Each structure stands twice: as C-alpha cells, then as structure tokens.
C-alpha cells in the first residue's frame, strides 16, 4: 500500500508528478487560500509526508494528529512555522529550501530599498491622484543610494548577495553577524562591526537574519533610537525581528526617515495596522522569493526533500 503525502497548497502538476508515481498524493486545491486548520488536522491523520508553506503552523497538535508522519517539507528557507524541537523528539525529519531563492530575494531587497529611498510608491500615487500640477525643487525628494552606507544585519547567503549589489552602487558596506565572514568581506568589500555601530553609522539598515526567539524584537525602540534621523530600515527577513509598535512610533515621530517592509509579525497583515497609515512606509505582501523561476525551484526542492526522505536515498536539506 502506497504511503500518503499531504500538500497544503496547490502546486503545478509537473512538480508533483514525481510524488504521484510513488505515493498517494492529497493536495489542498486552492492556490490563494491557506488550508483551514481543521482540514489540516484531519488530512494529516494518515500522512507519512507533509509538504507545507509558511502559512501553516506545524506544531505539536498537528504532529500528534499525524501518528505516521516521517517528514515535514517546508517550502521556504525559514522554518519558524514548524516546531522543530517537537519534530525531533518524535523522530520526524524537517527540511527546507535553502540556496535557490538567494539571488531573487536579494533583488527584491535592493528593489525595496530603492523604492523606499526614492519614494516610488508615494510618487506613483501622487501622479494617479492628480496631485502633479507643477514642478518644484523639493517635490517628492528622497535619499541617495549611491555612496551611502549600507548596514546589513545577518550576513548569510542573502546578506552577501545584497552586499554585492550594493558594491555596484559604490556603497560603503557594514555588516553585523554572530560570526565574522573574512572570505565574504574580501569578495564584497564589507566591514564587520558590532550591531550598535552598524545602526549608528548606516544610512540604510537591511535586516536579513533568520528568525529565532533569540532575535525576537532585536530591533526595538532602543535600537531605532541609535539610527540616524535620515536612516531607512528594510526588512525582508521575518517580521518578528522588528518590534512593529516601536517602529511605528519611530516613523511617526521622525526618529528615522522611512521603512520598507516585506514581512510582518502577523501575516497576512491586518489592514487596520497603524503602519499602513504612514506615508513613509513601503509595504509588500511577503514577495521576497516571488519570481516564477524561483518559486518553481522552491517547489521542486521541497518535493525532492520529501521524496528522498521517504524513499531513503538522495540529497535532503535537513534542518534537524
């Protein structure tokens, strides 16, 4: 009898074909709607493998409901939606999709930095609302990127890829990481500094750390107060790293100049969130890896991870 796999979001048929050849595949048939919690709990009851998204919280309750579960394949680099500790105790392998989204997320990070600095969304709305009636010297003026100092908090694959892009703009690059990366410094021209120095000296702060409880609200009121009044905060990592209440106050009080955010503590973001009332914030719906090619690679890697664990051979991107 074939083992059962449950997939929590509709994927292209070409991607899941590999699984269908060897397993009984059940898939939530919605592309734009997350699987309801109760449906997830019911569907995993017979599952040997689970392919999930960041939108699903895979906690002890889910694992208790899935006595046959052997592998959780998370279609993302981050895996803070999965209780890895509980999975390890239960002998369940957890996998992710590193590497394939590095360049695409770096592109988006730099694009968000440029859009925020030059007020592109605000300027587009200004034109569309019929406010463009004349030209004036300080109309919609923003911040220069070329020659500015970029501080990167988290100097892994994506952080280094962003640094390479920044070098092309003649930026001075600082980085903070829990360990120094000498070889990457040579490749990017970046200089290691402690977090407080990075915050004080940078014109742009790019958050690119993986999320963990240790870095929850790493950037809060104290850290924001260290930044320049002309500084711009960019977060394309995880929402919980930045204290959104403190950020709102800092932006409203002009403690910092602007923020560009692709991630939030609660996703999807509540439309009543106070950050959405501010003109100096650019917000995106967590699209860091959202190129067609990259999302397909992520799906294929998530499928390969799940398949290889269950058949017992091949490369697996394990996180536990």
Give all domains of the chain, ordered by start, each with its CATH number: 4-98+292-311 (3.40.50.720), 102-283 (3.40.50.720)
The secondary element (H helix, E strand) that includes residue 185 is helix 182-188
Burial 98-124 (b: 16+ CB within 10 A, else e): bebbbbbbbbbbbbbbbbbbbbbbbbe
Q: For strand 149-153 and strand 49-52, is the pairing parallel, antiparallel, or unpaired?
A: unpaired
**pTM of the predicted structure, to 2 decimals:** 0.93
Per-residue pLDDT of the chain (320 residues; tens, 9 = 90+): 899 999 999 999 999 999 999 999 999 998 889 999 999 999 999 999 999 999 999 999 999 999 999 999 999 999 999 999 999 999 999 999 999 999 999 999 999 999 999 999 999 999 999 999 999 999 999 999 999 999 999 999 999 999 999 999 999 999 999 999 999 999 999 999 999 999 999 999 999 999 999 999 999 999 999 999 999 999 999 999 999 999 999 999 999 999 999 999 999 999 999 999 999 999 999 999 999 999 999 999 999 999 999 999 999 999 99
Active-site annotation, residues = 238, 267, 286
């Amino acid at each position: 009898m074939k083992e059962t796999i449950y997939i929590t979001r509709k994927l292209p048929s070409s991607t899941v074909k590999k699984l269908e050849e060897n397993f009984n595949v059940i898939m939530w048939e919605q592309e734009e709607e997350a699987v309801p919690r109760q449906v997830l709990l019911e569907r995993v009851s017979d599952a040997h493998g689970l392919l999930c998204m960041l939108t699903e919280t895979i906690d002890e309750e889910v694992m208790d409901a899935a006595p046959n579960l052997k592998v959780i394949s998370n279609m993302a680099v981050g895996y803070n939606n999965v209780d890895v500790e509980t999975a390890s105790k239960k002998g369940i392998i957890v996998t992710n999709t590193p590497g394939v989204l590095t360049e695409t997320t770096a592109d988006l990070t730099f694009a968000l930095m440029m859009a925020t600095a030059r007020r592109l969304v605000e300027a587009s709305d200004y034109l569309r609302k019929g406010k463009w009636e004349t030209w004036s010297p300080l109309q919609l003026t923003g911040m220069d990127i070329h020659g500015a100092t970029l501080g990167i908090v988290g100097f892994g694959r994506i952080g280094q890829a962003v640094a390479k892009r920044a070098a092309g703009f003649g930026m001075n690059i600082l980085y903070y990481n829990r360990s120094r990366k000498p070889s990457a410094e040579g490749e990017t021209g970046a200089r290691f500094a402690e977090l407080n120095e990075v915050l004080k000296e940078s014109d742009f702060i790019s958050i690119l750390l993986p999320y963990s409880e240790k870095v929850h609200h790493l950037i809060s009121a104290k850290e924001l107060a260290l930044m320049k009044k002309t500084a711009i905060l960019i977060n394309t990592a995880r929402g919980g790293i930045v204290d959104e209440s403190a950020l709102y106050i800092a932006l409203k009080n002009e403690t910092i100049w602007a923020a560009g955010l692709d991630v939030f503590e609660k996703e999807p973001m509540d439309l009543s969130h106070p950050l959405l009332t501010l003109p100096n914030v650019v917000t995106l719906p967590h699209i860091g890896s959202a190129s067609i090619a990259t999302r397909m690679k992520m799906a294929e890697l998530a499928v390969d991870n799940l398949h290889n664990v269950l058949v017992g051979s091949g490369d697996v991107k394990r996180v536990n």
